[in-house]
Amino acid sequence: MTFNWFERRTATTSAPDTPADYVAWAKRAYEHIRQQQQVPEPAPASPPPVEPDPPAPTSFLARAAALRQSRLAALKESLVTPEPAASEAAPVATPPPPALDEGFLWSAEILAAQGRQPEEVTLEEINWLQKLRQGLAKTRRNVLNQLKAIVGQGPLDERAVGELETLLLQADVGVTVTDWVIQQIQAQIRQEALPPEVALKLMAGLLRQVLERPYQQGHSPHLTPVKDQLNIWLITGVNGVGKTTTIGKLAHLATKSGYRCLIAAADTFRAAAVEQVKIWGERAGVEVISNPSANADPAAVVFDAIGAAQARGVELLLVDTAGRLQNKQNLMAELQKVRRIIDKKAGHARVESLLVLDATLGQNGLRQAQVFTEAAQLTGVILTKLDGTARGGIALAITQELGLPIRFVGAGEGMMDLRPFSSYEFVEALIGI
């Protein structure tokens, strides 16, 4: 059966939580990935690292790092096999095996904690998680360095909480969310002393709650196109945020997941825009409906695309739109017209209106997006360019300010660099140790 890349599982509480479990899980996942690659057993590592007893580090961050290092050593040791005979040359076109490093183990831990089975895991997913973690590395480094200074040694006190507040604001989490998180932590402190690890876990839980609030307000926790039915995803946002790139990536995810997909090139404002979306369509193997005449009416392109989609039994129609027009009124009028056409011609389709936001623009991006929230009946957000910012906390400000779920995150310019959003993965990559 084709794996549906849009479907996500939420974290479970039945996560394996002993180091031995994580190592065993990672080992099975590693062996499974190797098998999928149809490569012989891993080349032996240099002599199994003799793991010195980790010193008893005082800082909780150092302890966490030492714990992962010792798990990694155990994993490497468990995978070592005899040296292959010298004559057994490795096949030429073999993809490189996944690196057995801290990033692999971290990704394995995240997947295990979400209740995934090692046998379902692919190298692509491991790579994506590493990418997300790398994307958020700048943010995490800032946060953790400051945390080390704040709660490095003892339980959280009032002074430390004040510094936590600054830290959250600097990561662009926004005033409202920061105030709420700090209040919750203060309430806990009044009841009991909070050792740093506990404080960090508490904070992670609070951040997840913020990201998941839209689910309690009627938004489904998942956004998966419904099979055998027309789903129309209208992709909006200001110029340059990554709409067209995201459409290319979504088209790729869709075909890989077995959906019949089509793209409507409804950004007719810039001549180059249609060409750009066609290139992405080609890469993803998805046809693009466009109108060759200059300044064609976007609503007419969408009309044609819906006709083609209905005739061909397309399941996912992705609509690229313009991010800038002569003025704000024109932009709003155009989006509303496109929307009217969709409602009229495809009344039974499942319509999603997704706003693309560039994470590197921070709070400014959020302000720029205001016009779309008014015009486009938004149902969700796609956050791009996480790989280019040290302020990944913007995801929380977005959820809070717009009251919309984040549906996808992008962390790179390649075809694979987009994944459905998981609050668990996001928060772990943001502040997980």
Give me the residues that bind ligand GDP (CB under 6 A), please. 237, 239-245, 323, 384-385, 387-388, 410-413, 417
Q: Is 349 in a helix, a strand, or coil?
A: coil
Backbone phi and psi for residue 353, each to the nearest 5 degrees, phi listed first: -115, 105
* Shortest CB 298 distance to ligand GDP, Å: 14
The smaller minimum CB distance to ligand GDP, of residues 34 and 138, is found at 138
Do 203 and 143 form a contact (C-beta atoms < 8 A)?
no
CA–CA separation, 243 and 358 (whole Å): 10
Q: What phi-psi label fits residue 85: left (phi over 0), alpha (psi between -120 and 50 degrees) or beta? A: beta
**Does residue 244 bind Mg ion (CB under 5 A)?**
yes
> Which listed option, ligand GDP, Mg ion, none, makes contact with residue 176 (CB within 5 to 8 Å by class)?
none
The smaller minimum CB distance to Mg ion, of residues 243 and 419, is found at 243
- Which part of the chain contacts Mg ion (CB under 5 A), choosing from 73-81, 111-119, 272-280, 393-401? 272-280
* Shortest CB 134 distance to ligand GDP, Å: 12
* Shortest CB 235 distance to ligand GDP, Å: 8
> Which listed option, ligand GDP, Mg ion, none, makes contact with residue 387 (CB within 5 to 8 Å by class)?
ligand GDP
The smaller minimum CB distance to ligand GDP, of residues 72 and 241, is found at 241
CA–CA separation, 121 and 252 (whole Å): 19
* Shortest CB 284 distance to ligand GDP, Å: 13
Q: Which long-range contacts (CB under 8 A, 24 or more apart) does 186-189 make?
A: 186/158, 186/161, 189/156, 189/157, 189/158, 189/161
> Which listed option, Mg ion, ligand GDP, none, makes contact with residue 139 (CB within 5 to 8 Å by class)?
none
Q: How far is CA 290 from each of CA 182, 233, 319, rounded to the nearest angstrom? A: 50, 16, 11
The smaller minimum CB distance to ligand GDP, of residues 178 and 291, is found at 291
- Which part of the chain contacts Mg ion (CB under 5 A), choosing from 84-92, 208-216, 235-243, 406-414? 235-243
The smaller minimum CB distance to Mg ion, of residues 131 and 243, is found at 243
Listed residue (388, 398, 375, 393) closest to 429, CA to CA? 393
> Which listed option, ligand GDP, Mg ion, none, makes contact with residue 252 (CB within 5 to 8 Å by class)?
none
Do 298 and 267 form a contact (C-beta atoms < 8 A)?
yes
Q: Are strands 418-420 and 287-289 parallel, antiparallel or unpaired?
A: unpaired
Instruction: Write out the residues near Mg ion by the rule CB under 5 A.
Output: 243-244, 273
